Every structure is written in C-alpha cells, then in structure tokens.
Amino acid sequence: MYSPSNNYEFDVPARWSRSKASRQLTIYDDNLKIMYNGLGLNDDDAATLITSSPFRPTMGVGYFEIYIIEDGCDNGFESLENSIHISNSFIMFTEIIHSLRKIGVGFGTARTSVRQLPGWFPGSYGYHGDDGNLFHSQFYGTPYSTTYGKGDIIGCCIDYYTRTVFFTKNGINLGIAFKNIPLCRFYPMVGLRYPGQMVEANFGKSPFAFDIQLYKSSACQKRNVQKINEI
C-alpha cells in the first residue's frame, strides 16, 4: 500500500508561475497577488494560472489559501449601470452577482488549460465562488457549499494519505469535496473571469486561517495507526 513520507527534498508550491499563466492576468512582483485584466465578456475570457512547483504524494498533505481582495462586483455594477437598466427582479440581481463572482480555486496537472477556470478542464478540480459548486473535468458543477467573494479566504487541502480533498472558508473545513484522487503531482490553481477581480495566495509564508498543522498531525497519527494494524 502507498505510504507518503515526510521527505521534503523537492520544492513545494511557493509562488505563481509566470510561464504557466494566462496573459489576461497581471502578476504582481511578489508572485502571489494577481489581477484580472481581460475583457470578461463571457466564459471564453476566463483566465487561470498555476504554481511553479506542485504538491507531490510524498508530502502527504498539501494546503494553500486564496484571499479574495476584490470579486469584481464593485466594478461590475458600475459598468452595468452605464450600459443597461438593472431590473428590480431578484432573479436578475442574482444572475448578475453570479457572473461577477466567477472565481475558481483548486488544482490540476501541469497540462491544465490557463483559459478555463479550475475544474472545467480535464485533470483539474475546482470550487467556484459564484455558485458554491464543485467542478471536475467538466462545465457542470455539483452542489458543495456556500458562495464566496470579497474578503473571504478560501483554502484547498489535498490529503494524499486518504486520497481526498477538502476546501476551507475563513478557517472552517467545508467537508470532503473529492474522493479517490490519483496519487500524482498537482499544481495549485486560481482562475478569474471578470475585470477588477484580485486575489492573493498564501502558500505558508504567512499564518493560515485554517489550522493545517493540527490537521496534518491528526492525519499522520491516523496513518501510523493504520500501518500498525496492517502488520
């Protein structure tokens, strides 16, 4: 049976890759903060990037967080008001909010497209802010949790011990999102879709909102007990 170790001889994800990023994204000097600079007319204008280094099965557990600085709603409403009359209809209001908050946090392989949000392209997984749904290798999502936007911190954990994935929101575990993930290298990803959207990644240089160290300790203990029981 596969057994991850605590061997960190490889580089861990620490920054966004400028060579594996959509041209519709502005990457700041710290290689952590990004902003959408595309037209944002439709889903074909989605823009994604991945990290320069991946999570590896030998790490056991991989985790990162994305802080939503701007979700596009402020700029979106201003531009919409200049072009169309916004109805009092709650349905229309909801649809507008959803289109502006199309942000995806997730991970994928090195072959993931940078022109689609995480989860839309084969080999990628994502949790989207506009509807709270999960996506894996398709454009149709499945219900998972609440929506998210400006001011929220979204985390993504890949547990290679159990081959599961869960997301966090503002330090709270939202529950298992994906099961039976392949034991391969995965790159953290974030995708933006609308002008004005800006996010910042935390790969561990700053304290996380979620206590990942406590989770790692618990996961390691459970794995050790399992190994003993297998003897």
Domain residue spans in the chain?
16-230
Q: What pLDDT, on a 0 to 100 scale, did the predictor assign at position 81?
A: 42
CATH number for the domain running over 16-230 = 2.60.120.920
For the beta sheet containing 47-51, the strands, ordered from the edge strand earlier in sequence to the opposite edge, are: 16-21, 47-51, 187-192, 104-108, 124-128, 133-136, 142-143
Per-residue pLDDT of the chain (231 residues; tens, 9 = 90+): 344 444 444 589 999 999 999 999 999 999 999 999 999 989 999 999 999 999 999 999 999 999 999 998 766 444 444 444 444 554 444 445 555 679 999 999 999 999 999 999 999 999 999 999 999 999 999 999 999 999 999 999 999 999 999 999 999 999 999 999 999 999 999 999 999 999 999 999 999 999 999 999 999 888 787 777 776
**Which tokens in the block code for residue 48?**
């994604």
Q: What pLDDT, on a 0 to 100 scale, did the predictor assign at position 101?
A: 76
Strands (E), the chain: 16-21, 25-27, 33-36, 47-51, 61-70, 104-108, 124-128, 133-136, 142-143, 153-159, 164-169, 172-178, 187-192, 198-202
Contact at 8 Å (CB) between 206 and 168? no
Q: What pLDDT, on a 0 to 100 scale, did the predictor assign at position 75?
A: 60
Q: At 194, which amino acid appears? A: Y
pTM score of the predicted model: 0.86
